[in-house]
Amino acid sequence: MATVDTTTTYSPDSKPVNYLTQSHGFLSWAMTLDHKRIGVMYLVATSVAFLLGGTFAILLRTELWAPGHTIVSHDTYNQLFTLHGAVMVFLFIIPGIPAALGNFMLPIMLGAKDVAFPRLNLASFYFWCVGALFFLSALLLTGLDTGWTFYTPYSTTEYNTSKDEAIIAATMGVFVLGFSSIFTGLNFLVTIHTMRPPGMGWFHMPLFLWATYSTALIQVLATPVLAITVLLIIVERLMGIGIFNPVYGGDPVLYQHFFWFYSHPAVYIMILPAFGVISELISVNCHRHIFGYRFIAYSSVAIALLGFLVWGHHMFTSGQSKIASVVFSAITFSIAIPSAVKIFNWLATMYKASISFNAPFLYALSFMFLFTIGGLTGLFLSTLNTDVHLHDTYFVVAHFHYVMVGGSLTAFFGGLFHWWPKISGKMYSEFPAKVSAFLVFIGFNLTFFPQFVMGTRGMPRRYYNYLPEFQSFHQWSTIGAYVLGLGAIVAFATLVHSMFRGKKAPTNPWGGASLEWQCPSPPPLENFHEAPTVGDCYDYDRLRYDEKTEGYVMTK
Amino acid sequence: MSDHAVAETTDAHASHGHGHHEHGPFQAHHFETPKQQFDAGKFGMWLFLVQEVLFFSGLFVFYAIYRINHPEIFEWGHQALDTTYGAINTIVLLFSSLTMAWAVRCAQLGKKNGLVFFLVVTLACAGIFLGVKYVEYSAKFEHGYLWARYFNPTSDNPHVAEPPSISKEVDKVVEKVESDLGDHSAAAHDAHSAEGHHHGPVGPPPPNAGVFFSIYFTMTGLHAIHVIAGIVAITWILVRSVKGHFGPMYFGPVDYVGLYWHLVDLVWIYLFPMLYLIE
Amino acid sequence: MTNLSLSPILAALPWEADYWFPPQRSTYAHEVDWVYFFIGWVSIFFFVVIMAAMAYFCVKYRRRPGQPKLKYPTHHSGLEIAWSILPSFLLVYMFYAGFISFMDMRSMPDEAYNIVVNGQKWFWQFSYDNGKIIESGSVANDANWNDKKSIFAKVPRLHVPVNTDIVLTMNAKDVLHSFFIPAFRTKQDVVPGRYTKLWFNANEVGVYDVFCAEYCGDKHSEMLAEVVVETQEDFDKWYAVASDLEQRFPDPVKRGEYLYSSRGCTQCHSLDGSTKPNGGPSFLGWWGKEVPVDGQAPVKMDENYVRESILNPMAKVHTGFGKIMPAGLITKDKEIDALITFIRNLNQPSKTETKK
Amino acid sequence: MSSTAAHHDEEHGLAHAMPVRALLTVFTILVVLTVLTVSISNFIRAHEQFHAWGVPIAMFIATIKAILVVLYFMHLRYDKSLNNLIFFFCFAFVFLFMIFTLVDSLQYQTDIENYAAVQPETPAPAAAAPAKAP
């Protein structure tokens, strides 16, 4: 290998072989150990899951256009919201950013050739597929109507309308998906710890890696508890061990402790990678060093660790004791601080910046708007007395959609547009991408803002029928859902279109300084033709716009 | 390979950036050195063990909560378990842990025969463990000491229930060991013989007694599944070591499987007193 | 049928309690609303500041060709520590305010009127005075969901006197439910296998909605009820009428059924021919047949045998069942007659119908 | 047990190799502890006055055994501090999980007992079977 060259533009004359053209055929993808191909497969798979979950959502909202029967029956409605929740949570949001974007970007941003365990990585993708198949079979078999939380005793007794097979298939699906998630997390932790090239210190890592690292920590520490919990549900259902069944002295509230010990940290699995993406989007498009790098990095880890101590705030009205509720409420407030720190730091990054308004940045702005609302409404739910009123109402629905959709989904789209030139080697068209960002923003607010009002007025969630006084809100919400759906379709259409008609992407179209903008677009099999220079990944002053390639180049 | 040569190779690889790799047959392309590969694998394995600990923690938390809230269920239920079997299995697993650790040592030193031998012994121990578990499980099934829904002790007078015959033989051995230990265990010995050899619970079951057996079966069952997974993993290692894959510069898989096997042992070290001993 | 109007969006602009909340009708409701609006204003303040800064920076620092790069700070520890620590004082206050009010909501008053609430798929049941009065009902299948009156026509009503501490002792028969009264700002899950408690003191006469807030299956959204808050006199009046069974249930079969479910028969005697654990013979299957009796000649199960078994349960005990039935569950002749009619009707439904 | 320095000559290739003598010593201690915990349990069973000590002693011995296995068989003692950290760190999470859940469960236990107290005795059907048989 030649000595390290400081200029990183690769000669355009020799047509370099990249990871997409490296080999051909179905098997070359299905059996690939390349993290980029696995990332792309994850991207396709999770996007399909998103469209599936989105379809359920559209059907749900359509049913709620009017009280009483609109298009589906009680039972179908219950199955729809169960699968909407389960598919979106387990198949889309949890793997969406870390497993798809993270898999693709993490080794490149780190300057490594691959993740530490490529075979485990591929296995984790197939675990995802198997889990998805279990979910689909639950849908096709007999329907699953327990809600994505599988609360006992509803899920463990014959009281519900879904059959054994549906619940066992779905919980098996969660179990398998859990392992997919654990293996991805484990892989990332090991990669970040042991595969950093010389010069890449902890505080030289882009913030996306800090976020992914924190996420991976949660995946490894929390997911096993979910695994044992759903395993106990399966055993309960099959054999009747009575652990969560009051008839045999079991305890349904204990189930909720088990479930939320995983599922609250899981909320941070969903949002932390989004924080990482936004940190990248904002600093790159502001062409300015991120403000307060260490505070953002530490706040990710702080959120990951504090996230383990607050699960009881899902249970203030569940029959949990007063003392536990009070303790959990107090700890919950502490998690507001690292989240707020991030928002303030991003804002400060925009100060004296030089902002390019491309589609990823619009998504980042809409993230800041929506996540701020999502975060602030969390305060109402961590406060004990207001939560007693708001718990299990549409207020909660609106709050977590502001965080998960307004947060994670916009970050997912933003990150996808941002890194799309790197992933596909093609530039997307800016105008429809901006339209999609706009539609998602408007549609989202229209869908979920009325739900805050509904919830405060006392409209409980998971209701098939509702009182006539809520109809107006529901109709606004339904219209919003259509707009949101349209926005998502425009976004995907823009990306697909670019694959065929897009201009060839330069190495560094946005002027990013982290390592992924030093390797060609799309990257070759081992990511870098020559060892990359590790420098300050937020120092944009070294970059200069090059008219010829329509991209940025390092000046020094 | 002599120690000297090993040291030299390590040094050569320790200084990165030379660019010329002497990739061993089992070194993955994306690792710079065998050391990096080994460390990555080892850290990955430890993370996997962490994951296992949290996986089991669900059951331990469950045990703790029921144990504290309903001690009577445990006091009654644990009498249905045969301490002797539990003790034998503990010793068997500890011994297999020893042989596993020894196997890892052999792999590290490049002693192929020793490696194969100790892996076979470990497998044999795992087999014995499962055999004893099978006997125990059958006894429970026979007497209806099952989990909550099927809990239905058949014998009205458990004192009459005959313990399976191996138990008696082994009891004698254990008693002998105990009496060899000296004075204070004499009391225990007396207590043991005074109570006779019944292994059935005394008195009628308290309400929800089946929960004890739910806990017993889920905990030991999950552990047994891990033992079976361990057997599969050790067999894989055994095949590879017969083929001569392992040596001082590449023994990661043996080490990782070893770690897993010790964790299985570790879980049992807690299960044994929690289920069989604590009254 | 479309109710689409701009009112929800427009009305959201003025921050009014009447718009956001149902009316405040319990003693602690105003505390909840107060904390809600406090957090609301704090949130609005921060939101506006953040968004204004964001918009300002977007305009001021947008990329313009030829503009030189500005000098900027990459971090400022003082500032960062300040915005980490200062907002936490507000958080501590929010926690404290919520905590005080929560302890009030969750600490049961010592002397209160106690009502037992049972949640079951998919209806609520309210028992007063050890089950002497049971209020039960559910949303009819033919309810018109665009008409609130039609929806609430047949739901159970929880009658409570105004300005009185009421404690609800709640239990679920099957799965989790949650008793939610928006006007009182309170909610508590109802859990099988245990009692959970809820208290309130309604401060104004009126009728308020009750929802089930914990998902419980198919007709979760139809598990509705109403709280009827009335003056003490009205409550007493209602109580007198509710306890007068003949007036409430003119049909003796219905009266008998009510007695069956409200006087404890249901714990030992099934209606489907099965034997309950440690229970007695089923009400179905023995009518008109010879019943084997401990130590005596068999006796035919008819009106006389049933009457005797109620008034003096130990006189002729059905062979194979324990001597466990208490006397004095029902003492009034008319009530015994109603229960007998119910049992007879259960065994010979056609006969009774023809009688009618 | 011998110190790290004494094992220095045992550094082979990629990791520390445990000397045979150390392995055998650890195994012997483990067996002795197993016999000990069984004997103590039998002793406590026979002597009612020591009842309260059963749980702590058994768990204490189990923990010593576990630590021995972790430190020597799994040679964590000679391993990287990162691996040490992550392994012991995870017990902190198990501890948090257990302590919070336990505290809550102890608090609400009275609600369950109050309910059980007023219910007609309906234990698990199978368990009731022998009592009901005529």
Q: Which residue of A has its CA nearest to B32?
A: A195
Domains of chain B: 50-163+198-277 (1.20.120.80)
Asked whether D and B share 3 or more beta-carbon pairs under 8 angstroms, the answer is yes
Domain membership of residue C8 (yes or no) is no
A228:B147 CB<8 A: no
Domain membership of residue D33 (yes or no) is yes
User: Has residue C5 got a pLDDT over 50?
Assistant: yes
D17:B109 CB<8 A: yes
Q: DSSP for C185-206?
A: TEEEEE-BTS-EEEEEEB-S-E
Q: Which residue of A has its CA nearest to D102?
A: A254
C150 and C269 housed in the same domain: no
Q: pLDDT for D55-70, tens place per residue?
A: 889 999 999 999 999 9
Domain membership of residue C7 (yes or no) is no
Percentage of the residues of chain C whose pLDDT score is greater than 70: 92
Structure tokens at C246: 């003949």
Boundaries of domain holding C331: 249-355
Average pLDDT over residues A452-463: 94
Average pLDDT, chain D: 79
Domain boundary among C221, C243, C265: C243
Q: What is the pLDDT of residue B272?
A: 94
Q: What is the pLDDT of residue D115?
A: 85
For residues B156 and B158, what is the distance between their CA atoms, to the nearest angstrom?
6
Domain membership of residue C67 (yes or no) is no
Average pLDDT over residues A145-159: 83
User: Has residue A248 got a pLDDT over 60?
Assistant: yes
C120 and C236 housed in the same domain: yes
Domain membership of residue D11 (yes or no) is no
A154:C101 CB<8 A: no
* Distance between D117 CA and the closest CA of chain B, angstroms: 12
Q: Which residue of A has its CA nearest to B146?
A: A241
Other C-beta atoms within 10 Å of C27: how many? 17
Average pLDDT, chain C: 85
Least confidently predicted of A393-397, C206-210, D122-126: D122-126
* Distance between A490 CA and the closest CA of chain C, angstroms: 25
Topology (CATH) of A26-554: Cytochrome C Oxidase; Chain A (1.20.210)
**10-residue block means of pLDDT along chain B (279 residues)?**
35 37 69 88 94 94 91 87 91 95 93 94 96 92 83 58 45 50 42 45 79 92 96 96 90 94 95 88
* Distance between A340 CA and the closest CA of chain C, angstroms: 8
Report the run of H or E that residue C116 belongs to, with start and end.
strand C113-120
Best mutation target, D100, D102, D111, to test chain A (most A CBs within 10 A): D100
Least confidently predicted of A9-23, C43-57, C331-345: A9-23
Q: pLDDT for C183-237, tens place per residue?
A: 999 999 999 989 999 999 999 999 999 999 999 988 899 999 999 999 999 999 9
Number of domains comprising chain D = 1
D108:C194 CB<8 A: yes
* Distance between D108 CA and the closest CA of chain B, angstroms: 11
Q: Which subunits have 3 or more CB–CB pairs within 8 Å of chain C?
A: A, D
User: Has residue C262 got a pLDDT over 80?
Assistant: no
Chain centre distance of CA A50:
11
- Among the partner-chain residues A191, A225, A248, the one whose CB lies closest to the CB of B208 is A248
Report the run of H or E that residue A436 belongs to, with start and end.
helix A430-456
The 3-state DSSP class for residue A97 equals: helix
| Identity of residue B224 | A
Asked whether A and D share 3 or more beta-carbon pairs under 8 angstroms, the answer is yes
Please choose, from the candidates A105, A201, A83, the residue with its C-alpha nearest in 3D space to the C-alpha of residue A150: A83
A341:C69 CB<8 A: no
Q: Which residue of A has its CA nearest to D106?
A: A321
Domain edges within chain A: 26-554
Question: Would you tell me which residues 53-82 of chain D have a C-beta closer than 8 angstroms to some C-beta of chain A?
Answer: 82
For residues C16 and B127, what is the distance between their CA atoms, to the nearest angstrom?
73
Q: pLDDT for A103-116, tens place per residue?
A: 999 999 999 989 99
Cβ contacts of B41 on chain A, cutoff 8 Å: 116-117
* Distance between D133 CA and the closest CA of chain A, angstroms: 21
| D34 touching B (Cβ < 8 Å) | yes
Other C-beta atoms within 10 Å of A67: how many? 25
Between A196 and C328, the higher pLDDT residue: A196
Q: Which subunits have 3 or more CB–CB pairs within 8 Å of chain B?
A: A, D
B69:D106 CB<8 A: yes
Best mutation target, D82, D101, D104, D113, to test chain A (most A CBs within 10 A): D104
User: Has residue C351 got a pLDDT over 60?
Assistant: no
A1:B217 CB<8 A: no
Least confidently predicted of A10-19, C45-54, C118-127, C210-219: A10-19
User: Has residue A464 got a pLDDT over 60?
Assistant: yes
> Which ipTM score applies to this complex?
0.87
Boundaries of domain holding D48: 27-94
For residues C279 and C269, what is the distance between their CA atoms, to the nearest angstrom?
7
Q: pLDDT for C106-148, tens place per residue?
A: 999 989 999 999 998 888 999 988 777 888 888 887 888 888 8
CA angle (A387 as vertex; A381, A390 as ends), nearest 5: 95
Domain boundary among C195, C214, C243: C243
The CATH number that applies at residue C304 is 1.10.760.10
The CATH number that applies at residue C228 is 2.60.40.420
Q: What is the pLDDT of residue A379?
A: 95
Q: pLDDT for A279-321, tens place per residue?
A: 999 999 999 999 999 999 999 999 999 999 999 999 999 989 9
* Distance between A308 CA and the closest CA of chain D, angstroms: 8
Q: DSSP for B44-106?
A: HHHHHHHHHHHHHHHHHHHHHHHHHH-HHHHHHHGGGS-HHHHHHHHHHHHHHHHHHHHHHHH
D108:A257 CB<8 A: no
Rounded to the nearest 10 degrees, the angle between the axes of helix A430-456 and helix A410-424 is 160
Domain membership of residue D114 (yes or no) is no
* Distance between B279 CA and the closest CA of chain D, angstroms: 7
Domain membership of residue C6 (yes or no) is no
- Among the partner-chain residues A220, A240, A241, the one whose CB lies closest to the CB of B51 is A220
Q: pLDDT for C61-110, tens place per residue?
A: 998 887 778 888 888 889 989 988 998 999 999 999 999 999 999 999 98
The CATH number that applies at residue C39 is 1.10.287
| D10 touching A (Cβ < 8 Å) | no
Domain membership of residue C101 (yes or no) is yes
Q: pLDDT for A32-55, tens place per residue?
A: 999 999 999 999 999 999 999 999
pLDDT bucket at D119, cuts 50 / 70 / 90: low
Note whether A513 and A540 are within 8 A (CB).
yes
Q: DSSP for C35-70?
A: HHHHHHHHHHHHHHHHHHHHHHHHHHTB--TTPPPP
pLDDT bucket at A158, cuts 50 / 70 / 90: low
Domain boundary among C243, C269, C292: C243
Q: What is the pLDDT of residue C350?
A: 54
Note whether C166 and C201 are within 8 A (CB).
yes
| A182 touching B (Cβ < 8 Å) | yes
- Among the partner-chain residues D13, D72, D121, the one whose CB lies closest to the CB of B108 is D13
Please name the residues in contact with C337: beta carbons below 8 A apart, sequence gap of 6 or more. Answer: C252
Ramachandran sector of residue C180 (left: φ over 0; alpha: ψ -120 to 50; beta: rest): beta
Domain membership of residue D126 (yes or no) is no
Please choose, from the candidates B205, B197, B210, B213, the residue with its C-alpha nearest in 3D space to the C-alpha of residue B160: B197
| C288 touching D (Cβ < 8 Å) | no
Cβ contacts of D131 on chain B, cutoff 8 Å: 204
Number of domains comprising chain C = 3
Domain membership of residue D44 (yes or no) is yes
Dihedral of CA A118/A124/A127/A129: which sign? Answer: negative
| D122 touching C (Cβ < 8 Å) | yes
Structure tokens at A519: 């390797």
